[in-house]
Amino acid sequence: MFEHLQKKWNVNGWRLILILITFAVGGSLTGYAGKWVMTTLGIRQTAVYVPLYIIVITILWPMIVLLVSVFTGQFVFFRNYLIKMGRRMSGKFNVTHFPDKSIAMEDLPANDLSNSRKHIAIFASGAGSNAQKIIDHFRQSDSVYISLIVCNKPNAGVIQIAARENIPLLLIEKERFFRGDSYVPELNNYQIDLVVLAGFLWKIPDTLIKAFPERIINIHPALLPKYGGKGMYGQYVHEAVLGAGEVQSGITIHYVDEHYDNGDIIFQTACPILPGDDPEKLAQRVHQLEHLHYPRIVESVIKKL
């Protein structure tokens, strides 16, 4: 159980102990404070006491646990934790299925957004391993926030990540994305500063590029300008690299423009192609580079905005 919590919250063993202590002490103090309030009010009838007591401790718990977290050094963690709880209770991370079978997020005001932070939207179509690494990287950040996950596949693994992390999810459909407003109003509603593509397989339309000039970045699993363009994604890239007899591959992080894999390069790094490599083995080595470097480069880009 403890290993699961460490992984879920991205903390080491010592921090996990402090977090659990904060939960325990905060819960106990909330119970005592709730009883004091009820005694002060002089309420004794069970039918009134129980529901009112639940309301009182529900109101008191966030304030008390934040106060305790100051003394345990876990204030940032619990502030973010309470924000995510608020999102879950409001249901903002859920999606709405409209009668025309298009899928969109409820158009609710993003009341918990802070103008002092930079806000990221992650676009992903698959399992979301890069999305998870980026979320983990900014989990305790005071200045950068993952405000939205955008996905074009209702069964993609990244949707489970959004639910687990309590991050609002926007499921998009092709007609509106390519021939409508490209969901720019929703992105603006969440005050998005940077769009990060993390395994997103649709070409970005001009409407979105114009709305976020120099503020959309992508990662490609090869050393551009080689092995880029339409149809060059995932295993197809690695097969092409190996088929050409290259001695190295790598990753390219670049700005997105109106053409596939064509924007200005921000960062590149290489890995060797080893004897006996097949597309799967090469993909694993390239994924390691993606997970190591993409969150760091995302941070460097958004800090310049």
Report CA-CA distances (Å) from 175 to 159, 172, 245, 259: 21, 9, 40, 19
In the block, tokens 């769009």 appear at 195
For 103, the 3-state DSSP assignment is strand
For 38, the 3-state DSSP assignment is helix
Amino acid letter, 38: M
Q: Is 254 a catalytic residue?
A: no
Q: For residue 221, give the nearest of 130, 107, 120 by alpha carbon.
A: 130
Tokens of 2: 């403890």
In the block, tokens 């790598």 appear at 250
Q: For residue 242, give the nearest of 287, 291, 276, 288 by alpha carbon.
A: 276
Q: How far apart are the first and last CA of the chain?
A: 40
For 195, the 3-state DSSP assignment is strand
Give the whole-angstrom CA distance, residue 242 versus residue 62.
Answer: 55
In the block, tokens 């290259």 appear at 246
Count CA atoms closer than 13 A to 193's CA, side-chain side.
19
Exactly one of 119, 137, 220, 238 is catalytic; name it. 220
Per-residue HEC secondary structure of 220-251 comes to ECCCCCCCCCCCCCCHHHHHHHHHCCCCEEEE
Catalytically annotated residues: 220
